[in-house]
Chains A and B, each alone.
Chain A
Amino acid sequence: AQTVTQSQPEMSVQEAETVTLSCTYDTSENNYYLFWYKQPPSRQMILVIRQEAYKQQNATENRFSVNFQKAAKSFSLKISDSQLGDTAMYFCAFMSWDYGQNFVFGPGTRLSVLP
């Protein structure tokens, strides 16, 4: 079974600074997707970024980028130029390409952006 670990329960960053959230996962599969979701205080889950495991190039979405290390089974999220609106819980998620295509979520990292 797949597992997703986020080792940082809480983090904080100053506005305009850069912060990196860690995520590691365990799987024996070769084809899969990885995602970062954001859950602000409103509790709406919002997709931030996704990465296909077969792609070597790291995904980027504006101020959000990932560092995907397939051999190390690591998938960290970098937020550049942090904004107050980035304050949220961030969840890393794994989706198998084949079997069931169900999602496995990590426990989350609570990020606070400080003014």
Chain B
Amino acid sequence: DGGITQSPKYLFRKEGQNVTLSCEQNLNHDAMYWYRQDPGQGLRLIYYSQIVNDFQKGDIAEGYSVSREKKESFPLTVTSAQKNPTAFYLCASRFLKNSPLHFGNGTRLTVT
């Protein structure tokens, strides 16, 4: 079955450590996105990529980094520079040209 896989579902890290969240899709989608979700707020865009080897910052990119070496994969690294990294992270993808977002199941990151 086609879909978007995020792993792991839960992730725990100590403050000061970098951590990488995985996102893989087999839908042949062109564009991939990372969103952060905090309680009481909607989804905020961290980074997005419309083609391989190219990506753009979203609204809250500080403290995060991404890569898009393959069409299927869009890993997100949460660096130690991110001041408040504990959150729920959602990866999404879609075809370009007026198609909706499809989401993974999310990763809950807790940093202590």
Of all chain B residues, the one with the shortest Cβ separation from A44 is B105
Q: Min CB distance, B79 to chain A, in Å? A: 23
Whether B100 contacts A50 by the Cβ 8 Å rule is yes
Bound complex: CA of A42 vs CA of B108, how far in Å?
12
Q: Decide yes or no whether B41 CB sits under 8 A from chain A.
A: yes
Contact of B42 among A33, A35, A42, A107 (CB under 8 A): A107
Whether B98 contacts A103 by the Cβ 8 Å rule is no
Whether B43 contacts A91 by the Cβ 8 Å rule is yes
Of all chain B residues, the one with the shortest Cβ separation from A32 is B98
Whether A35 contacts B106 by the Cβ 8 Å rule is no
Q: How many residues of A contact B (CB 8 A)?
A: 23
Which residues of chain B have C-beta atoms less than 8 A from A27's C-beta?
Answer: none
Whether B105 contacts A103 by the Cβ 8 Å rule is no
Which residues of chain B have C-beta atoms less than 8 A from A103's C-beta?
Answer: 33, 43, 45, 101
Which residues of chain A have C-beta atoms less than 8 A from B101's C-beta?
Answer: 35, 37, 45, 47, 93, 103
Of all chain A residues, the one with the shortest Cβ separation from B102 is A47
Of all chain A residues, the one with the shortest Cβ separation from B56 is A100
Whether B42 contacts A102 by the Cβ 8 Å rule is no
Bound complex: CA of A33 vs CA of B92, how far in Å?
17
Whether B48 contacts A45 by the Cβ 8 Å rule is no
- A positions within 8 Å CB-CB of B: 4, 9, 33, 35, 37, 42-47, 50, 91, 93, 95, 97, 101-103, 105-108
